[in-house]
Amino acid sequence: MKTILHCLAAAVLLLGLLSSCASQKDILYFQDIDEATIEKISKDYEPVIKRDDVLRIIVSGPEKSVVMPYNLTLTDASKGSTTLSNPTTSVLPYQVDNEGYITFPNIGRIFVLGMTRKELVDYLTKVIGKDVEAPIVYVAFENFKVTVLGEVRNPGTFNVASERLTLLQALGMAGDLTLTAQRKGLILIREVDGKQTHFKFDLTDSQILSSPFFYLQQNDVIYVPASPSRVAAANTNTGIWSVLLSTITTLITIITFSYNVLH
């Protein structure tokens, strides 16, 4: 009886050891953070305007009646007239066409492709300022979203209120990487000059903090592949678990039978 109990205890101990054999080197981010010299980011990575982007542009100023013609409203779009009583709720968004233009009231077609939000604000302020005293121009992206797929706990597409989103924040919104995720082969898919381009990056390397891909742009897609070694280990552990659980069940049956026979 003691021998059987010893075997049972050993099996349980082995099971626990196998379930806790993950290496820190496989899962830790920024492993060289103490030794690395992070280069200073030389510019702010602001998102740039792309085709099919949706922009909300509001023009305000000291005299509402003067700035009204520079705000696109429902009646303005459908009838060619403007009735703007509340600029913050009545203006319509602008969609960037395939050629990179928007059509702006009283100005006409404006090429905005590749501009940052600030550059468009500065341009409109300068143009409108020729006819309107002290105009205030507000520009925001209405379609700023990123998609995170693969080995994360909560994959999906996430709408973002802020226009300054980091890679780590996006992964955080997706619930972080799973233990079976590959840390060195993440893929960022981004539209560059009208073409889908992909970049690979390594989360174990702290230099990602100064990478031009650390700050995301609208419609970026992050794919987190599974680590082959971790998947293989998971499959092996699953098989060992099955064998050990079967063994433990058999031992418990033998112990129960022996106890009933002796008593």
The reported pLDDT for the residue numbered 28 is: 55
Model confidence band, residue 19 (pLDDT cutoffs 50, 70, 90): very low
Model confidence band, residue 36 (pLDDT cutoffs 50, 70, 90): very low
The reported pLDDT for the residue numbered 207 is: 83
| Residue 17 pLDDT exceeds 50 | no
| Residue 225 pLDDT exceeds 90 | yes
Euclidean distance between CA atoms 229 and 198, whole angstroms: 24
Model confidence band, residue 127 (pLDDT cutoffs 50, 70, 90): very high
Q: What confidence tens digit (pLDDT) does each residue in 45-104 have?
A: 778 899 999 999 999 998 888 999 999 887 555 544 444 444 444 678 999 999 999 999
Mean pLDDT of the region 198-207: 87
Average the pLDDT over each of 7-21, 145-159, 218-232, 239-253 and give the range with the smallest value.
Answer: 7-21
Contact 28, 179 (CB under 8 A): no
| Residue 18 pLDDT exceeds 70 | no
| Residue 237 pLDDT exceeds 80 | no
